[in-house]
Amino acid sequence: MSAPAVRPATVPSSASSRHTGRWAEAGLLSIALVIGLAAFVLTAINRTGSSPAQSLRLAAALAAVCLVVHLWVRRTAPWADPVLLPTAVALNGIGLAMIHRLDLSYERMGQTHDYGPKQAVWTALGVVLFCLVLLMRDYRLLRRWDRWAMWGGLGFLVLPFVPGLGTEVNGARIWIHLGPMSFQPAELTKVLLAVFFASYLVSNRDNLALAGRRVLGMNLPRARHLMPLLVVWGVSIVVLVLQRDLGSSVLLFGLFVVTLYVATDRPSWLLIGGALFLPAAWFAATNLAHVQQRITAWLHAMDPSVYEMPGGSWQLVTGLFGMAYGGLMGTGWGEGYPNLTTFANSDFIVASLGEELGLTGTLAILMLYLILVQRGLRTALALRDGFGKLLATALSFTIALQVFVVVGGVTRLIPLTGLTTPFLAYGGSSLIANWIILALLLRLSDAARRPTAAAPRIIDTAELPSSLRKRVRDADDAAGAGAKADPPTFTPAPPAPEEDGA
């Protein structure tokens, strides 16, 4: 009797017909495009009294870009989350509209900067890199490059110290100049170190999760396993002291501590991270002049002497009054005075949007960020391998921490740190880094939502009860003997009843 034919593993019919979400993504992209174009047109109408002549060309160009990106995602990551890309496009469009609106005000004041066209160029470059990253079909290849990611991240971090390349802006040495362009390399550092942290913690989480002594009801790690945390803490302090970049220091340290907590599920790591952060914060507040200025401006913002001092609270207070002037519904696109605040298109773009869109519009923007982060964490939960889970968590937390630090600083919840708002604020380095993060999240979500093939199930006999395991082994021996000679008719005994816990 011939053996039955073995059917190849295929995708189940129910899975092959599963809705990929690409049409939903197309519909959401259309809504995101309308939001950005409406903001642009309303700004022009309220500032000039007529619709801009180039609005049709702009609409056609943006629609073409959205169509190309959508088709590219449909081809390279067909099972990716359909909400991530439209959310980022909506945020980027709102940011471009506000930067263009501020350009109109600066032009009336005789200050021509052309921040809007520059941001559009950076957006185009970010979209190109987004498409290139999606060419990587398997995100697990990043684990092979974890060492390169570590050295690359540290290399970008020290680039501003290279003579003739780095430059100091507003007291912080975090910029490099490449011809007519300036770039903040620390923005790429957060992406590379997120890859390294995820790879390192997956390989070493068993050691890091080992408990040492039990103190106050919590299992503390062993002393020798604290070294990675101490190294990252030391790098963060060096960045804070030498580059005078409070924002990047907080981001790097917070990123590693949270990823470490997720990898080990040990709350003690959060307490140790907080215990290391507090003395570093106290040292910075008492010994670093620029940090002292920011804390003084935060605590005594309404003090006239602090308001008028160099590096005081003037910028913070004008942003607060602008948001208060916007009220619940805002003044409307182009109807406010956000240009009175310094760096209204970068550090304080949230205050600019709060003035013209009001509390309602600000909450809607924060809801978009919440959706972006929630979808990233949902991807982390759906992934089946530890590296993907940690990488999706790290990238999502990077966006969440940036938004919290920026909005908290502008609203005077915490001191200002100098981080930029993802996809909204003016700045090419931040925009490019966030488009790369978006591409990685789409690749991760494609792997998480992709249906698995119907492969034959393999049972490990080591997990079977001893009686059943012996019968299977005897049957295999009898089958092997029958291949050499015609065996007698063999009727296998019925399998033993399934035991609990088998």
Distance of alpha carbon 320 from alpha carbon 332, whole angstroms: 17
Distance of alpha carbon 416 from alpha carbon 369, whole angstroms: 20
Q: How far apart are the first and last CA of the chain?
A: 33
pLDDT of residue 492: 46
pLDDT of residue 416: 86
The tens digit of pLDDT for each residue in 314-364 reads 889 999 999 999 999 999 898 889 888 888 888 899 999 999 999 999 999
Q: With beta carbons less than 8 A apart as the criterion, state whether 396 and 198 touch.
A: no
pLDDT of residue 80: 92
pLDDT of residue 170: 61
For 396-441, the DSSP string reads: HHHHHHHHHHHHHHHTTSS-------TTTSS-HHHHHHHHHHHHHH
Residue 211 host element (H or E): strand 211-215
Strand partners, 172: 169
Predicted TM-score (pTM) of this structure: 0.82
pLDDT of residue 182: 73
pLDDT of residue 186: 80
The tens digit of pLDDT for each residue in 44-65 reads 888 777 766 666 777 888 888 8
Residue 173 host element (H or E): strand 172-178
- Phi/psi at 213 (5° precision): -80, 155
Distance of CA 85 to the CA centre of its chain: 13
Q: Please tell me what DSSP assigns to residue 489.
A: P
Distance of alpha carbon 44 from alpha carbon 35, whole angstroms: 15
Domain residue spans of the chain: 142-287
In order of 82, 135, 199, the CA distances from 139 in angstroms are 18, 10, 12
Alpha helices in 82-185 (DSSP H): 84-108, 115-133, 146-158
pLDDT of residue 214: 65
* Per-residue pLDDT tens digits of the chain, which is 502 residues long: 444 444 433 333 333 435 778 889 999 999 999 998 898 888 888 877 776 666 677 788 888 889 999 999 999 999 999 999 999 999 999 999 999 899 888 888 777 778 888 888 899 999 999 999 999 988 888 988 888 888 888 888 888 877 777 776 666 667 777 666 777 888 888 899 899 888 888 887 777 766 666 666 666 666 666 677 677 767 767 776 676 777 777 888 888 888 888 888 877 778 888 887 888 778 877 877 778 888 888 888 898 888 888 878 888 999 999 999 999 999 989 888 988 888 888 889 999 999 999 999 999 999 999 999 999 999 999 998 889 999 999 999 999 999 999 999 999 998 888 788 999 999 888 899 999 999 999 999 999 988 875 334 444 444 445 556 566 556 655 555 554 444 444 444 444 444 443 3
